[in-house]
Amino acid sequence: MTAAAAHASAQVAAQAAVPAVLPAPPPAAHRLAELYVDRRAIARNVRHFAHATGTPVMAVVKADGFGHGDVAEIALANGATWVGVATIPEAMRLRERGIAAPMLSWLNPVDADWEDAIGAGIDVAVTSFEQLYAVASAAERAGGTARLHLHLDIGMSREGAPAESWSALCVAAAALETAGRVRVVGIMGHLSSAETPASRQNDVERLRFVNGVRVAHRRGLTPSELHLAATAGALHRPDSRFTLSRVGAGLYGIDPAGIAALTPALTLTAPVAHLRRVAANTGIGYGHDHTTARATTLAVLPIGYGDGLPRAAQEHAQVAIRGRRYPIVGRISMDQVVVDVGNDAVELGDIAVLMGPGTRHEPTMRDWAEWSGTIEHEIVTRLGVRNSRVLRSYDERWAR
Ligand SMILES: *Cc1c(COP(=O)(O)O)cnc(C)c1O
C-alpha cells in the first residue's frame, strides 16, 4: 500500500469510528411534518360571516372540512347555525360525532342511504324526479317525512335540476308533501361566477333563482330556507344572500374573489431532517432539474407530494426557516424536498414553515396556489389527507 493510500484509508476509518458520546437526537416533536389548524382563525372567520352578512351561516365542512378536520364544532360555537356537506356518509359521521345542528347533504346518487338521512334528521337536496321518488319511498319505508331542499340549476350545468323540469319537479314534490312523505323546507341554487362579483352572469343567475322560487310558490311549496350564496356571494353580492349563506372556503380563510382579508387557519411545518454541504455544479433530485451555482448547504425536509404538496410548484416554491425564505430546489418528491439554505446557520431539527398565515415571512396557501397554477381550495384539501393534524395554532404549539 502506498503512503497516500494508507493515509486515505486511515481517514475513512476515523470517519467511521463511533463517537464515544452519542449525540442526542432532536426532540421528538421535531421529527415529522405537522399540520396545525388554528381554531381561533376559523372562529374569527365564522363570526365575520355571521356579523358582516347578517344572514344565518351554514358551515360547509365537506371533504373533511376542506382538509382541516373536525371543525364543525368550532363553526357552530361561533355563530354558524347549519352544517353542510356533500354526501350522506359525511353527514352521518357528523351526527355520530354528536352534532345535532340542522344539516344538509346535497350530492347523492339515486341509491343513496336516504333512510339513514331521514332517521338522522339530515336534510337532503333533490335535483331530479328519480331522486325525489327514491327519497319519498325511503320515507315511506322509514315511516317518516324527508326534509328536502330542491336544487335548481341556475347556470352551473352541474347537479341542480334543469330549468325545463323545474316546474314539474315542484308539482311532484308538492303532491308528495300533501301525502306526508316529504317536506320541502328549502330551495337552493349555486352561482357559477361569484368569484367575479361584478360579472353580469351573477345578475342573470340570481334572476333565474328568484323565478324558480316564484314557480315553487305557485306550485304550492312553502320553503323557509332560500339559499344561493356561497363564500364569494355572501361576501360580495349582498343580493345573493336570501335566508342562508353556505360558507365553505371562507371558514378556512379563503376568499375566492381575493378581496376580503380573512384569516388562514392552516400552518404546515416540517423539521430539517438532514443537512449536507455540496460543491458547485451538484445536481439535485430526479432528472437533475436543478444544479447548484455555488457551494452551498442543502436541507432535506420529510414532506412531499404524497403529503399534498403540489409537485407543480417546483421552480417557485419556498419555505421559511428561522424567519428567512429559502427556495425548494429540484423536484418535489413523494416524501421529501430539498431546500437550499446557502451558508446560513441552519441546524438539524430546525422547523421549516412551508405554509401559514404569512405572519412569520412564511409562504401562504395563496402563494402555493399561484406557484402551482391552482386555487387555494385544492391546496388545503390535499394537505389534510396524510398529514396528522394538530387542532391548535402554531403559536399555541410553542406557547408552553
Ligand atoms: C362547496 C359548496 C359550497 C361552498 O362553497 P365555498 O365557495 O367554498 O363557500 C356551497 N354550495 C355548494 C353546492 C357547494 O358544492
Q: For a pocket test of ligand 1, which of 190, 205, 225, 227 has the largest count of ligand atoms closer than 8 A to its C-beta? A: 190
Core vs surface per residue 293-325: b (16+ CB within 10 A) or e? eeebbbbbbbbbbebbbbeebbeebbbbbbeee
State in Å: Cα 70 to ligand 1 middle.
18
For residue 58, the model assigns a pLDDT of 98
State in Å: Cα 199 to ligand 1 middle.
18
Q: For a pocket test of ligand 1, which of 246, 252, 365, 379 has the largest count of ligand atoms closer than 8 A to its C-beta? A: 246
Global pTM reads 0.91
Q: Which residues define the annotated binding site?
A: 158, 334
Question: Is 326 one of the catalytic residues?
Answer: no
Report the nearest-CA residue for atom 6 of ligand 1.
248
Q: Which residues define the annotated binding site for substrate?
A: 158, 334
For residue 395, the model assigns a pLDDT of 77
Looking only at the bridges linking them, the beta strands covering 123-126 and 103-105 are parallel
Looking only at the bridges linking them, the beta strands covering 57-60 and 245-247 are parallel
For residue 216, the model assigns a pLDDT of 98
Dist. CA 6–CA 259, nearest whole Å: 69
Contact 142, 162 (CB under 8 A): no
Q: For a pocket test of ligand 1, which of 60, 124, 154 has the largest count of ligand atoms closer than 8 A to its C-beta? A: 60
For residue 9, the model assigns a pLDDT of 61
Question: Is 286 one of the catalytic residues?
Answer: yes
Report the nearest-CA residue for atom 1 of ligand 1.
248
DSSP single-letter state for residue 314: T
Contact 186, 227 (CB under 8 A): yes
CA angle 296, 300, 306 (to 5 degrees): 140
Rounded to a whole number of angstroms, the distance between the first and last alpha carbons of the chain is 59
The residues lining ligand 1, judged by C-beta closer than 6 Å to any ligand atom, are 60, 62, 106, 190, 230-231, 246-250, 256
**By C-alpha distance, which of 74, 6, 83 is closest to 40?**
74
Looking from the CA of residue 232, the nearest atom of ligand 1 is 7
Looking from the CA of residue 254, the nearest atom of ligand 1 is 8
Average pLDDT, consecutive stretches of 10 residues, N- to C-terminus, the chain (400 residues): 58 68 64 88 97 95 94 97 98 98 98 97 98 98 96 96 98 98 98 98 98 98 98 97 98 96 95 96 97 98 94 97 97 96 95 94 97 96 76 69
Between 163-178 and 129-142, two packed helices, what is the crossing angle to 10 degrees?
20
- Output the nine-digit C-alpha cell for 274: 438532514
Q: Which domains does the chain have, with CATH numbers?
A: 56-252 (3.20.20.10), 265-396 (2.40.37.10)
Catalytically annotated residue among 36, 62, 305, 326: 62
Dist. CA 94–CA 92, nearest whole Å: 5
Looking from the CA of residue 66, the nearest atom of ligand 1 is 8
Can you list the pairs that 156-159 forms with residues at least 24 positions away whose Cβ atoms lie under 8 Å?
A: 156/190, 156/192, 158/190, 159/106, 159/107, 159/125, 159/127
Looking from the CA of residue 256, the nearest atom of ligand 1 is 7
Report the nearest-CA residue for atom 12 of ligand 1.
190
